[in-house]
Amino acid sequence: MKFDIPKEELLGSGHLACPGCGATQAMRYALKALGEKTIIVLPACCWSIIAGPFPYSSLGVPLYHTAFETAAAAASGVKAGLEIQGDTETTVLAWAGDGGTFDIGIQALSGAAERNDDIIYICYDNEAYMNTGIQRSSATPWGAWTTTTPVKHFKNRPKKDIDAIMAAHLIPYIATASIGYPEDLYRKTKKAKDIRGTRFLHIYAPCPSGWKSRPEDTIKLARMVVQNRMFPLYEVENGEIYKMSIKPREKKPIDDYLRIQGRFRHLTDDEVKFMQEQVDKKWEKLLRKCESN
Cβ atoms of residues 231 and 204 within 8 Å: yes
Cβ atoms of residues 19 and 208 within 8 Å: yes
Per CB under 6 A, the list member of 10, 51, 130, 226 interacting with ligand TPP is: 130
Length of the chain counted residue by residue: 293
Binding site for ligand SF4 (CB under 6 A): 17-18, 21, 23, 46, 50, 126, 130, 207-210
3-state SS, residue 67: coil
Per CB under 6 A, the list member of 20, 100, 141, 182 interacting with ligand TPP is: 100
Q: Nearest to residue 78, comparing CAs of 122, 131, 127, 40?
A: 40
- C-alpha span between 163 and 185 (Å, rounded): 16
3-state SS, residue 44: coil
Task: Tell me whether residue 97 or residue 232 sits nearer to ligand SF4 (CB atom).
Answer: 97
3-state SS, residue 257: helix
Task: Tell me whether residue 90 or residue 126 sits nearer to ligand SF4 (CB atom).
Answer: 126
Q: Nearest to residue 141, comparing CAs of 267, 245, 50, 44?
A: 267
| Residue list 134-153, contact with ligand TPP (CB under 6 A) | 137
Which part of the chain contacts ligand TPP (CB under 6 A), choosing from 33-41, 125-133, 172-180, 217-225? 125-133
Task: Tell me whether residue 23 or residue 230 sits nearer to ligand TPP (CB atom).
Answer: 23
Binding site for Mg ion (CB under 5 A): 97-98, 126, 130
233 binds, among ligand SF4, ligand TPP, Mg ion, none (CB under 5 to 8 A by kind): none
Task: Tell me whether residue 71 or residue 286 sits nearer to ligand TPP (CB atom).
Answer: 71
Cβ atoms of residues 252 and 232 within 8 Å: no
How many residues in the shown chain lie near ligand TPP by CB under 6 A?
17
Report if residue 22 touches ligand TPP, rule: CB under 6 A: no
Q: Nearest to residue 94, comparing CAs of 77, 28, 85?
A: 77
Task: Tell me whether residue 58 or residue 126 sits nearer to Mg ion (CB atom).
Answer: 126
Q: What is the DSSP secondary-structure string of 122-151? A: EEEE-SSBTTTT-B--TTSPTT--BTTB-G
Task: Tell me whether residue 215 or residue 253 sits nearer to ligand TPP (CB atom).
Answer: 215
| Residue list 38-67, contact with ligand TPP (CB under 6 A) | 44-46
Beta bridge partners of 241: 237
Residue number of the CB closest to ligand TPP reads: 97
Give me the residues that bind ligand TPP (CB under 6 A), please.
23, 44-46, 68-69, 96-100, 126, 129-132, 137
